[in-house]
Amino acid sequence: MSDTIRLVVDGEEVEVPTGSTLLAATARAGADVPTLCHDPRLDPMGSCRMCLVEVEGQRRLQPACAYPAMEGQVVHTSTDRVERHRQVLLSMYCADHTLDADGLPAERALGNQLRAHVEAFGTGPTLPPIGTPRAGREDPNPYIHFDPDSCIACARCVRYCDEVEAVSAITLAMRGSSTTIATADQVGLLDSSCELCGGCIDTCPTGAMSEKRALGLLGADEETVRSTCNFCGVGCQLDLHVRDGEVVRVSSPPPGTTVNDGNLCVKGRFATEFINHPDRLTVPLIRGDDGELHEATWDEAIRVTAAGLMGVKERYGADALGFVSSSRCTGEENYLVQKLSRAAFGTNNCHQCAAT
Amino acid sequence: MTNSIPEIRDTELMFVIGSNTTEAHPIIAMEMKRAVRNGSKLIVADPRKIWLAEIADLHLQLRPGTDVALLTAMAHVIIAEGLVDEAFVANHTVDFEDVKAAVAETTPEWAETITGCPAEDIRTAARWYATTDKAGVYYTLGITEHSHGTDNVYSLANLVAMTGHLGKRSAGLNPLRGQNNVQGANDAGASPVFYPGYQRVQDPVARKRFEEAWGVPLSPHDGLNLNVMMKALNKGDIKGLYVMGEDIVISEPNCSALEVGLNDAEFVVVQDIFMNETCRFADVILPAACFAEKDGVFTNSDRRVQRVRKAVEAPGEARPDWEIICDLARACGYPMPHYSGPAEVYAEMAALTDKFSGISHERIEAEGGLQWPCPTLDHPGTPTLHQGAPLIGKVEFQGVAYRPSEELPDEEYPLVLSTGRTLYHYNAATQTRRASGPMAKQPVNFVEMHRKDARRRGLNDGEVVTVRSRRGAIEATVAVSPRMRRGCVWMPLHFPESNTNRLTNDAGDPVTATAEYKVCAVQIDGIAR
């Protein structure tokens, strides 16, 4: 078997590795095939029907995300038939989704792909709302909110929880238009096998899974700053979402772009409450003769610190000083602490908690 | 790590030892889970039946502190069964005879008596590891935090070298680093023996380089590493201490002795973002900015230098650590330059090293994270180390022999305590104890124990007990757990009001002085109410 296969997408010949899907081939050709249930980290499911394309020789439209690319295939991604299919499909989704005043799928959280597709491709005939009630659940967990009326039952969250995080805390439940996302016995996530990674929020295409603390806030109104997580040594890249000078939520850069491949853990995604916490130290403190800590200016604090450390050096020599640097601080700060220790005081007694 | 995190998904075998990856490195664990889904074999060696053990092909549930016995027995099998990569050993290593001699008698049957792992499982692990092409070793503090941590690492390195699992993708020897920037802190020379870029302070050429750059004479003597420094504090040899961004009272072993030292010290400075336990002993407390409030770089486990970017302002008068350090140096009479920002500090460091001299803030901005070695501005960085040949020329085999941990269980303290981190909290937990999810999941300190050890003592799940060692006693909640071996208990280190490091042993490895957090003897008693 050859390593690559060639096929024609919208009149352009492309070469892709053997075993690729049509979605990969159409992407290679630069064709923008819309998807909803697709996530590159997950096995193809082919359930949302958004990515159907025309394959010559096939009577029916085929899902690009799940259909194998084959040698010599001729594929069309935007024929009248494909466009008509997309509009009818989007009409059906709209009939079963929370709409805003303009009749568009409501904008939520970090974006709603369904809304973007409706804006891009339009809808067909307006269908009567389905309105079947879907079961939600009271869930006291502090982070993850689920809105059943914005869910399109694509199961990305369920598959992520099973295939990537592998804890299988959530599942599809019920049938037909009642299909919803549930836990076993509808217990709260804190009582399930959920590890609060928030991958369900990240993968959800419509914002039905969203972050409680940022509920109602739209990503479009936030400034994002790319940074590196400050917990373990994996080096996950984070997008810090800033609103009115506060970090209101954290998201991962898209899959395939950084070392964490779109994933984050409970600490990286959610444990940011410390940043704005009222317990933060905000002013230098000096211990007085009374044994208590007293607020001081930076000038005083630096002067007292310098005098204290220099005093030890004068009385006992530089090697009576120890400098504990920090593997939590930046590389530049560690460089400067060892320079402080070596150049300003003359001792190599400088270390941090490096055991691995 | 010799290799890179994204390579894990393509591996054919993972040997995970002394790493509870799903809790300590959750995103690396996701790559491991993906590798298993793709058909990779997984061998887990851990005294606890950790999450990864549930999906492993083989779980070696060894007694804590017996890693050298396990690993030398694996080496014995590989040599005895002719599974050595002779070409790699001949071309890229020296002193293989030392290992051959050291493992001549370390049969799997012998190791079974020490580790408690069936000899046949040890054979299977050795065969699988030696005969799989892309086989990677992944370890963390379960290997290093022992009085024989260096021997543990040598034993692993011996296995890697004798099977030639070095210098190729999805293999190698991969310590998963514990903190966001522990790699970067070492790289930057926050080390008693190295200047930035692992240049030895005892090397006159290196010293001259830094003396010229910094304009002052430098000490030619190795400094004290952290564990020794803490003991020197207790003995009164260290009189002044500057502590940035670590709560040493929570993080260091045998903290009661450390508290005596801190109390006797003449001058202690703490620079941090929260009031912590060490602040009780501080003469001055300097408020610092957290990661979201400053610029700089963190270097992750796979040597990837990535940017930290300021997103919000620091609260009140808190300032970035780098600014504080520069002001302090100048107040002490050292002419620290007035850097325009961290980019300029990084440039000064990079120019003094060979490994990072091609890395700059500007390049990371344009290209994303860069993995060192990256010696020139047009060098793409190095995802996989030792390709073609080992960087140091030849790998030196180290013959090592098993020796027991410093403190073994006895009648008075019959249980072996290991300590570590959980998924929901992080180290001294000043940050995660202020996070609602982690507090909902794990609000208090607990001691994981085998149901039979609990039953013998008449203890129930959820009961508050006293855990005591020769160094101290604390209260914790019993968590009866199917993960535990009999005779072994496990506790996290995140809870200041129940500080597990009152129990731990500060005995250190003879080379690195890294303390034995993973093995000490304790007893557990019910509390009469």
Domain ranges across chain B: 5-176, 233-371, 415-526
CA angle A17, B136, B191 (to 5 degrees): 120
- In this structure, the dihedral spanned by the alpha carbons of residues B318, B184, A227 and B329, taken in order and rounded to 10 degrees, is 30
Question: By three-state DSSP, how is residue B221 classified?
Answer: coil
A-contacting residues in B 140-169 (Cβ below 8 Å): 140-141, 144-145, 149
Tell whether the torsion through CA atoms of B275, B281, B285 and B289 is positive or negative. Answer: negative
| CA distance, residue B434 to nearest chain A CA (Å) | 6
Tokens linked to B461: 């799940």
Residue A169 pLDDT: 96
Q: Which residues contact A11 (CB under 8 A, 6 or more apart)?
A: none
Architecture of the domain delimited by B415-526: Beta Barrel (2.40)
Residue B529 pLDDT: 65
Architecture of the domain delimited by B5-176: 3-Layer(aba) Sandwich (3.40)
ipTM of the complex: 0.95
Any idea which fold B233-371 has? Rossmann fold (3.40.50)
Q: What is the CA radius of gyration of chain A?
A: 27
End-to-end, the C-alpha distance of chain B in Å comes to 50
Q: A328 and B242: CB-CB below 8 Å?
A: no
- List b or e across B210-247, with b for residues whose CB sees 16 or more CB atoms inside 10 angstroms: beeebeeebbeeebbbbbbbbbbbbeebbbbbbbbbbb
Distance CA B414, CA B526 (A): 15
CA angle B336, B342, B346 (to 5 degrees): 85
Q: Please, are residues A81 and A58 in contact by the beta-carbon 8 Å criterion?
A: no
| CA distance, residue A303 to nearest chain B CA (Å) | 7
Question: By three-state DSSP, how is residue B102 classified?
Answer: helix
Per residue in A303-326, pLDDT (tens digit) is 999 999 999 999 999 999 999 999
Distance CA B68, CA B400 (A): 8
Closest CA to B100 of B86, B83, B131, B79: B79
Residue type, B141: L
CATH 1.10.10.60 fits A222-278, yes or no: no
Q: Which of B189, B229, B300 sits opposite A349 (nearest CB)?
A: B229
Distance CA A272, CA B58 (A): 37
Q: Which of B26, B349, B434 sits opposite A265 (nearest CB)?
A: B26
Distance CA A112, CA A93 (A): 13
Q: Which residues of B touch A231 (CB under 8 A)?
A: 180, 426, 431
Domain ranges across chain A: 4-121, 222-278, 285-351
Distance CA A314, CA A321 (A): 11
Residue A131 pLDDT: 82
Alpha helices in chain A (DSSP H): 22-28, 80-94, 113-121, 156-159, 199-203, 266-270, 298-316, 331-339
Q: Which residues of A touch B295 (CB under 8 A)?
A: 330
Other C-beta atoms closer than 10 Å to the C-beta of A164 total 24
Q: A324 and B30: CB-CB below 8 Å?
A: no
B-contacting residues in A 273-312 (Cβ below 8 Å): 273-277, 279-287, 293, 298, 301-306, 308-312
Q: Does B276 touch chain A (CB under 8 A)?
A: no
Q: Please, are residues B219 and A349 in contact by the beta-carbon 8 Å criterion?
A: no
Q: A324 and B248: CB-CB below 8 Å?
A: yes
| CA distance, residue A141 to nearest chain B CA (Å) | 7
Distance CA A153, CA A208 (A): 10
Q: Does B172 touch chain A (CB under 8 A)?
A: no
Query: In terms of CA atoms, which chain B residue is nearest residue A231?
Result: B180
Tell whether the torsion through CA atoms of A299, A302, A305 and A307 is positive or negative. Answer: negative
Count of alpha carbons within 13 angstroms of residue B178, beta-carbon side: 25
pLDDT in tens, chain B (529 residues): 999 999 999 999 999 999 999 999 999 999 999 999 999 999 999 999 999 999 999 999 999 999 999 999 999 999 999 999 999 999 999 999 999 999 999 999 999 999 999 999 999 999 999 999 999 999 999 999 999 999 999 999 999 999 999 999 999 999 999 999 999 999 999 999 999 999 999 999 999 999 999 999 999 999 999 989 999 999 999 999 999 999 999 988 999 999 999 999 999 999 999 999 999 999 999 999 999 999 999 999 999 999 999 999 999 999 999 999 999 999 999 999 999 999 999 999 999 999 999 999 999 999 999 999 999 999 999 999 999 889 889 999 999 999 999 999 999 999 999 999 999 999 989 999 999 999 999 999 999 999 999 999 999 999 999 999 999 999 999 999 999 999 999 999 999 999 999 999 988 888 888 899 999 999 999 997 6
Tokens linked to A158: 């369920």
User: Looking at the domain that runs over A4-121, which CATH code has it been given?
Assistant: 3.10.20.740
Residue type, B403: R
Q: Which residues pair with B195 in a beta bridge?
A: B199
Residue among A327, A341, A345 with most chain B CBs within 10 A, to mutate: A327
